[in-house]
Structure 1
């Protein structure tokens, strides 16, 4: 089997690429390294540096390799920042996805696996269940939902099989801890290692169910072998929600330090977001069930090895009105 993994040098993608390789797939990773790192690409995997928005490059890869499966994980997943980078968001997360879907149809891919997000649900719908009507509240969620609808349309028109996963608040080894716009656990760890206070928007009472990478990467990789998953939308991740304040204490404990917290002006975000996973359990069985304490502990040991990181600030902010002050520097 030949598989394309987009975003395979990034966080979730690098783990999915490794699991696909271990299943015996011949894997090609396509990544522009905007949020990933080349040393995270698994061994014995072909790496192509490039962007999914490059239509000619995408076409050439499908023509050369005739992929059986596509695992599409490439995205700029800064949900909060997406309000201020709408053009960039839709170009990368929607138009880039359409390039892949077009190629998948033309070259008769057997199944297109897409990582969407619980951002498609919007606010006030907890626990989030696949049967709910999506009401995304930010451009990131809108772009993800648009790709979901496009995949459904491609299936109806051309017979392209798909599997859509809606993960949430994923963390673990290989995460870009230097990105200040997303991934709160990575942000906390980076701040602790830099001897800085942990920053929290608002009062810290917002809740999320933080999902370790082992709660979803293996299921995503093997999903193409599970016919019951075909043409389905599936929530995937951890069940138990925690407040951001509780999370700060768990991360501090993993590093053996007392929590130092700096509260910032609240930003516009969904206050409570966690999912129901009965469908995933029915299709795949129970996941690894990594506890928050155990998962954060594992990630902390990895973070201490790689050290603190600083990513370049996003330079092309399109709308600066209402941009949080901490994102303006």
Structure 2
């Protein structure tokens, strides 16, 4: 038996694939390479190039590889861009998830781990985000992830009394950073780490947007979690589902404490050896002072913990990016 990783050629998905493989589970990858890279798929891992919107392709893949569960990572993950491209975001994230669930039902596959997002919470006015906090997504991206969770919930309800009830869980997280493999790095043009790395490699000065927030150093505080820890949690969730063990509908993969943007910049200078003083720009609209999630439930059930310091997050990401140059 195997597990299908949708989006398994992307930054996060490729780490999940390696974690699945290391756990002794056979991974299968489907990815349309819109933001992923075929070179990120390990040698020997079956790779299907195609979109999750192709129901027939999904069904054929699930059946051919005798898939027992899906780790659904594929999606359009750019919150800011989603405001300008809502229809594309909903097509990829809502319709895509619906088609995945439909294909699973047709192929008799009953387990799914959904890579959701802490964007479902929007900009909550609390110091620590817990799973039961009201959901007020602030972008089409956040809305699409919340709807994805609803689709899982509703399909589980619909199949509860049938021969193949759906078992599911959703993993919510904020900023994924670092690298767990020197051949994998974040290629997103919208995430903080790759933005800073590209600036430094180009001899330019990175910028902080606002230094007058109500935080200890004036810059906003966020959850930053290492991609290898994220991948490991997905695997444990898959194992719990496959074993029929109790599992929550959703988990926050949070750092509990968070890091400020200035702390990230200081670590960037310290680890890379490039001495720079970041520029200070105006605040970006809608940026709250602090958003940090608890990871208590995930620690209890998914062996979730932060195994990397901020310097290690920067070092692993920087080494992987430099190796790709």
Scaled by the length of structure 2, what TM-score is found?
0.88
In structure 1, what is the Cα distance between the partners aligned to 2:23 and 2:102? 26
- The residue matched to 1:94 in structure 2 has which SS? helix
Match of 1:168 among 170, 174, 196: 174
Residue 104 of structure 1 contacts residue 112 of structure 1 at CA under 8 Å; is this kept in 2? Answer: no
Match of 1:301 in 2: 319
In structure 2, what is the Cα distance between the partners aligned to 1:125 and 1:154? 31
Q: What are the superposed Cα offsets for residues 256-297 of structure 1, whole Å, 9 maximum, x if unpaired? A: 012242344433344222101110111133525211112211
Q: What are the superposed Cα offsets for residues 293-313 of structure 1, whole Å, 9 maximum, x if unpaired? A: 122112212221112xxxxxx
Cα distance, 1:193–1:205 mapped onto 2, change above 3 Å:
same
In structure 1, what is the Cα distance between the partners aligned to 2:283 and 2:56? 42
Match of 2:91 in 1: 91
Give unmatched runs, 5+ long, in structure 2. 160-164, 212-217
Give the CA deviation at 1:231. Answer: 4.7
Q: How does 1:24-173 map to 2 (within 5 A)?
A: 24-123=24-123, 124-158=125-159, 159-173=165-179
- Residue 281 (structure 1) aligned with residue 282 (structure 2): no
Match of 1:246 among 257, 263, 266: 263
- The residue matched to 1:216 in structure 2 has which SS? helix
In structure 1, what is the Cα distance between the partners aligned to 2:323 and 2:220? 30
Cα RMSD (Å)? 1.8
Give the CA deviation at 1:101. Answer: 1.0
Match of 1:326 in 2: none
- The residue matched to 1:68 in structure 2 has which SS? strand
Match of 2:221 in 1: 207
Q: How does 1:191-202 map to 2 (within 5 A)?
A: 191-202=199-210
Scaled by the length of structure 1, what TM-score is found?
0.87
In structure 2, what is the Cα distance between the partners aligned to 1:206 and 1:74? 29
Match of 2:15 in 1: 15
Residue 56 of structure 2 contacts residue 103 of structure 2 at CA under 8 Å; is this kept in 1? Answer: no
- Which of structure 1's runs of 4+ aligned residues deviate more than 4 A? none
Match of 1:258 among 261, 271, 275: 275
Residue 175 of structure 2 contacts residue 225 of structure 2 at CA under 8 Å; is this kept in 1? Answer: yes
